[in-house]
């Protein structure tokens, strides 16, 4: 009877296990769930839980919200955007050596990220996201210390640590990495959106945009402050004028004055060991169910292809890095969250509900065509969505899949009523590029990390999005050459983009020639 009872319980758990167990272990659990197999399943889920815990923001992982619960709260504090300068030449130098070059490049990149993430943690910051080679850090308001002083301390420590990357030996000689840092203090909306299948946390509001502007208007090697960030620390740090109204912090502190950490820094929480005391089949089944309940909410924050990739590699350590071709899409959502800080609670409810709906529909369009929606980030003109095709699952027609997805997203957004006026519709600006990217799990080996894509291909897609008109999809010549037989395209003009020595030809995606190209 006991055997039959636990088998019935395992059958009830099967729908929850099928996406969180590697293929061979899933079959073993279904065919012969003996004590050895149950132990292996529990150990795998425990390992996966630890991996997923480190792949999402720490405070989100610790909150343990139920997948599908939409929520938001206003928060105050200081935000930091950073951007890494010099990565593209580094990528070009190592890419000629294929996989061996990718491994060497990942070593340098993770040395950088590990250094920076350790400083962020010691300084009391929360690393919210990786976007390419950039990061977004939050210093939540607290009653013990001014968050801008914490953030400036952190920024100065980060810039000092960049000295180790001044001279990097590469196959093309010595190269260097530098960093821009922008800080802004204010109030912003932290929202959790999505469906039980895919959740996402986003920051919304003008103050997020101001932080991004501060990073873009900063200088390599320095910490750039908006007037709002400068005001509370004007008597603490010496500064000099920057561009416009910004202030650049002058680092004239001794090592003892700056120190290595802030007293109110957030300590990393040690995860429970989840040892199983009862080794009977019933006890092991109970243990599987308990660790499953912790793992499921975290899994919903990852794109399905990446989750599956991590599930299959959980026992093998970090997945291998890759240098591969991919089609990259950047989507800017217009008219959705602008001005949210001036709304009353009823209006905010409506905006977050609409945002969640649009995010879910876009994610469905991406998944249906085999792509990855990495996350929602923030651009100078509103919320952005980063999408790519080609990794971890490559297709022979990834540019066509990306183009069909972009066209579907444009249609979804154009048919979505504004949360402010039901007679108006939202708009979008989209950029697509196709080329080589570097993909890897970046960050700390035993800490905060994410599966990330980097490279000039990603940067160009973002810049095309930035110059597109509302409801326009711009693409590079590399995309056009792959899709011109299946999509109507309009050749436009040559445009000059940041980081490009020459103007490049740009095309506008109109519509599929015969239905959906995929």
Written as one string, the DSSP assignment of 356-410 is HHHHHHHHHHHHHTT-EEEEEEEETTEEEEEEEESSSS--TTHHHHHHHHHHHHH
Q: Is this structure's pTM higher than 0.85?
A: yes
Q: For residue 373, what are the CA distances in angstroms to 209, 245, 330, 349, 463? A: 22, 36, 10, 24, 18
Model pLDDT, residue 89? 93
The alpha helices in 32-182, defined as continuous H runs, are 35-55, 58-63, 87-95, 98-122, 147-161
Model pLDDT, residue 282? 83
Name the DSSP letter for residue 446. Answer: T
Nearest CA to 361 among 193, 128, 129, 511?
193
Rg of the chain taking only CA atoms, in angstroms: 24
Model pLDDT, residue 1? 43
Q: And the tokens for 63?
A: 């909150």
Q: CATH classification of 73-258 is 3.30.70.1230, yes or no?
A: yes
Q: And the tokens for 266?
A: 């957030």
Model pLDDT, residue 59? 86
Q: Is the N-terminal amide bond of 392 cis, ω within 30° of 0?
A: yes
Model pLDDT, residue 432? 98
How many helical (H) and strand (E) elements, i.e. helices and strands, does the chain have?
A: 16, 18
Residue whose entry in the numeric block shows the structure tokens 């908006």: 226
Give CATH superfamily name and number for 305-512.
Nucleotide cyclase, GGDEF domain (3.30.70.1230)
Name the DSSP letter for residue 190. Answer: E
Question: Residue 109 — φ and ψ, nearest 5°?
Answer: -65, -40
Ranges of CATH 3.30.70.1230 domains, the chain:
73-258, 305-512
Per-residue pLDDT 10s for the chain (518 aa) are 456 777 788 889 999 999 999 999 999 999 988 999 999 999 999 999 999 999 999 888 888 768 889 999 999 999 999 999 999 999 999 998 999 999 999 999 999 999 999 999 999 999 999 888 899 999 998 877 789 999 999 999 999 999 999 999 998 899 999 999 999 999 999 999 999 999 999 999 899 999 999 999 999 999 999 999 999 999 999 999 999 999 999 999 999 999 988 865 555 455 655 566 677 888 888 999 999 999 999 999 999 999 999 999 998 877 889 999 999 999 999 988 877 888 888 889 999 999 999 999 999 999 999 999 999 987 666 689 999 999 999 999 999 999 999 999 999 999 999 888 888 999 999 999 999 999 999 999 889 999 999 999 999 999 999 999 999 999 999 999 999 999 999 998 888 888 777 899 999 999 998 755 45
Nearest CA to 205 among 191, 187, 192, 217?
187
Model pLDDT, residue 245? 95
The alpha helices in 127-205, defined as continuous H runs, are 147-161
């Amino acid at each position: 009877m006991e055997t039959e009872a636990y088998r019935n319980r395992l059958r009830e758990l099967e729908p929850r296990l099928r996406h969180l167990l590697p293929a061979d272990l899933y079959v073993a659990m279904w065919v012969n769930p003996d004590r050895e197999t149950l132990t292996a399943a529990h150990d795998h889920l425990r390992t996966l839980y630890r991996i997923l815990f480190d792949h999402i923001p720490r405070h989100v992982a610790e909150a343990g919200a139920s997948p599908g619960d939409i929520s938001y709260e206003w928060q105050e504090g200081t935000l930091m955007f950073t951007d890494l300068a010099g990565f593209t030449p580094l990528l070009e130098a190592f890419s000629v050596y294929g996989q061996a070059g990718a491994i060497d490049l990942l070593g340098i990149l993770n040395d950088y990220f590990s250094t920076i993430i350790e400083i962020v943690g010691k300084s009391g910051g929360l690393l919210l996201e990786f976007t390419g080679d950039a990061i977004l850090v939050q210093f939540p308001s607290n009653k013990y210390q001014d968050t801008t002083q914490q953030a400036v301390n952190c920024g100065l420590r980060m810039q000092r640590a960049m000295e180790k990357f001044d001279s990097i030996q590469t196959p093309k000689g010595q190269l260097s990495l530098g960093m821009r840092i922008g800080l802004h203090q204010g109030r912003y909306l932290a929202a959790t959106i999505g469906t039980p299948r895919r959740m996402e946390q986003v920051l919304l509001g003008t103050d997020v945009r101001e932080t991004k502007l501060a990073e873009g208007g900063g200088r390599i090697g320095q910490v750039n402050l908006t007037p709002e960030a400068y005001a509370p620390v004007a008597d603490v740090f010496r500064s000099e004028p920057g561009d416009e109204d910004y202030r650049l912090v002058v680092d004239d502190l001794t090592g003892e004055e700056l120190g290595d950490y802030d007293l109110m820094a957030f300590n990393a929480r040690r995860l429970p060991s989840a040892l199983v005391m009862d080794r009977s089949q019933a006890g092991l089944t109970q243990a599987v169910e308990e660790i499953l309940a912790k793992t499921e909410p975290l899994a919903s924050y990852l794109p399905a292809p990446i989750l599956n990739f991590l599930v299959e590699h959980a026992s093998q350590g970090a997945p291998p890095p890759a240098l591969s071709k991919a089609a990259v899409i950047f989507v800017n959502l217009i008219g959705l969250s602008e001005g949210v800080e001036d709304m009353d609670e009823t209006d905010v409810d409506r905006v977050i509900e609409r945002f969640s709906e649009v995010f879910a529909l876009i994610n469905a369009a991406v998944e249906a065509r085999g792509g990855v929606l990495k996350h929602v980030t923030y651009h100078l003109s509103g919320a952005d969505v980063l999408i790519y095709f080609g990794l971890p699952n490559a297709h022979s027609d990834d540019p066509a899949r990306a183009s069909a997805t972009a066209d579907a997203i444009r249609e979804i957004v154009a048919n979505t009523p504004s949360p402010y006026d039901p007679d108006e519709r939202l708009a979008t600006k989209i950029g697509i590029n196709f080329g080589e990217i570097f993909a890897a799990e970046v960050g700390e080996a035993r800490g905060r990390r994410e599966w990330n894509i980097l490279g000039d291909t990603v940067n160009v897609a973002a810049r095309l999005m930035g110059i597109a008109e509302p409801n326009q999809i711009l693409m590079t010549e590399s995309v056009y050459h792959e899709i011109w037989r299946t999509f109507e395209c309009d050749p436009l003009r040559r445009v000059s983009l940041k980081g490009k020595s020459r103007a490049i030809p740009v095309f506008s995606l109109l519509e599929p020639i015969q239905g959906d190209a995929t």
